[in-house]
C-alpha cells in the first residue's frame, strides 16, 4: 500500500466524518462504458422493459464499475463492505418480490421502480465507510443482476 493510498483513505474518511456529500463522479469525468452488461440487457429485454430503462441501468452499472475502484480504501474491509452491500441489496430484492406477489401489471417495470425507491430509502451509503451515494449503489445492484444474482421476471409460483 502506498503512502498516497493511505492519505487518500484518511481524506475520504475525514470528509465522510464531517458530513460532506459524496460526489457522483470524481473530477467531473463521465464514467466510461464498462465491458459486459450483456446478461443485464438480456434480462431487461426479456422482461419487456423499455430501451430508455435499459440504457439508464447500463449507465448506472458503468458508474459503479468506474467509481468502486476509486472509492474503495485499499484496506481489507473493502471486501466486507462490498459483501455487506450485496447482502443488503439482495435482501431488498427479496422484499420487493414478496411485495409484488399477486400484483397485476408489468412486473419488470414495477420491480425496477421499487428497486430504485427501496434502495434509496434504505440509505445504504450511510451504513458503510466507503463514500458511495444512492446512484453508485443502484449501479452495484445492476451489476449484481448482470452477475445473475437476480432478474426482472416474475418468479415462477409453485
88-115 pLDDT, tens digit each: 999 999 999 999 998 888 999 999 999 9
- The half-sphere exposure of 9 on its side-chain side, counting CA atoms within 13 A, is 15
CA 128 centroid distance within chain? 14
What's the pTM? 0.82
**Rounded to 5, what percent of the chain is helix, strand, coil?**
65, 0, 35
**pLDDT score of 51:** 96
Give phi and psi for 61, each to the nearest 5: -65, -45
> Which pLDDT value is given to residue 158?
41
Q: Give the residue carrying C-alpha cell 459524496.
A: 22
C-alpha span between 58 and 54 (Å, rounded) = 6
The rounded Cα 11 to chain-centroid distance in angstroms is 24
List, for the chain, all residue ranges whose pLDDT scores fall below the cut of 70: 4-28, 157-158
State how far the alpha carbon of 68 is from the alpha carbons of 74, 104, 151, in Å: 11, 37, 22
Check residue 37 and give its pLDDT. 95
CA dihedral 40→43→45→47, nearest 10 degrees, is -140
Quick one: pLDDT at residue 24? 66
Report residue 79 as a C-alpha cell: 471486501
Query: Could you tell me the three cell numbers for 112?
Result: 425496477
Amino acid at each position: 500500500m502506498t503512502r498516497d493510498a493511505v492519505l487518500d483513505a484518511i481524506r475520504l474518511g475525514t470528509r465522510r466524518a464531517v458530513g460532506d456529500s459524496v460526489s457522483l463522479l470524481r473530477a467531473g469525468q463521465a464514467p466510461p462504458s464498462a465491458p459486459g452488461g450483456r446478461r443485464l440487457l438480456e434480462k431487461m429485454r426479456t422482461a419487456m422493459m423499455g430501451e430508455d430503462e435499459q440504457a439508464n441501468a447500463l449507465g448506472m452499472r458503468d458508474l459503479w464499475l468506474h467509481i468502486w475502484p476509486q472509492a474503495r480504501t485499499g484496506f481489507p474491509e473493502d471486501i466486507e463492505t462490498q459483501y455487506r452491500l450485496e447482502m443488503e441489496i439482495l435482501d431488498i430484492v427479496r422484499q420487493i418480490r414478496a411485495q409484488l406477489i399477486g400484483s397485476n401489471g408489468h412486473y419488470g417495470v414495477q420491480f425496477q421502480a421499487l428497486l430504485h425507491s427501496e434502495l434509496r430509502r434504505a440509505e445504504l451509503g450511510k451504513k458503510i465507510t466507503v463514500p458511495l451515494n444512492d446512484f453508485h449503489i443502484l449501479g452495484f445492484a445492476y451489476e449484481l443482476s448482470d452477475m445473475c444474482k437476480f432478474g426482472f421476471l416474475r418468479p415462477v409460483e409453485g
